[in-house]
Amino acid sequence: MKVLTKNENKIMFKNTTDTQSNRKIENFKKSFALPKVGWKIKTTFAALVILLLIAGTVQTVITIGAFFDTYKIVPHSIIKLEINPPFTIQIRELISPIVPDATSSAEVEEQTLNLAPLTIESLASGADFKNITSFIRMRESSNGKPTNDPTALHNKCAAKGMTNEYGYNPQAVHCFPDEATAQNKIVSWFKEKTETMTLATALCFYNTGTKLSDCKYYQDYLAFTLK
């Protein structure tokens, strides 16, 4: 019988201990190991994942298509260089004949204006000047109806034996010698303005002093013409 040395005994004991430890670990792993999944379950799971991916892709395409049916992408320049001239020359805006100038004096000498005879019928092309003058006279002086307001333009002119029932140039207390002259002036003014602007803009400019494409004054005129 072979007698083992001390070192050989240690090596044998170590190997025996390692073998037993490895067996315990393998038994522990086996006790907690998940059962093996069959190929049918794997195939079903894979098919389900593929279907979900296809459905998600189809829904994404539909969503993107609906977005571009409603919206569009417009590219913009990230950087825009613009060189402007140091100044520009523009035509001065004319003062509206109906809006008083805030800087003008209240005491302005009355003015009269004599114009060559002019009939509404001779200027009726392009705009209904008869309706325009009728509307303005109604709006600005209630068709020349006297009132107790001494500051009203038509009352001031009437006190002088003259007339201005159209609110024309109130800052200068502008009075006309008679109704025909006043009417001719309004027709002439609108004829000139409607050569370069619409009737709506001309009426707004006459009332507010601002060239607008639409305003209440013009809408009231439209309602007046329908009566």
Least confident among 104-108, 131-135, 208-212: 104-108
Does 179 map to a domain? yes
> So what's the pLDDT on residue 106?
37
Does 167 map to a domain? yes
Does 158 map to a domain? yes
Whether residue 109 contacts residue 179, with contact meaning beta carbons closer than 8 Å, is answered with: no
DSSP string, 172-197: GTB-BSSHHHHHHHHHHHHHHHTTTS
CB-CB neighbours of 56 under 10 Å: 10
Does 55 map to a domain? no
Q: Is the pLDDT of residue 97 over 80?
A: no
Does 116 map to a domain? no
Task: Count how many domains the chain has.
Answer: 1
Q: 142: closest CA among 128, 151, 152, 157?
A: 152
Q: Whole domain around residue 212: which residue ranges?
A: 121-225
Least confident among 86-95, 98-107, 166-175: 98-107
Q: Is the pLDDT of residue 153 over 80?
A: yes
Least confident among 82-86, 103-107, 124-128, 212-216: 103-107
Does 125 map to a domain? yes
Tell me the pTM: 0.47
> So what's the pLDDT on residue 107?
37
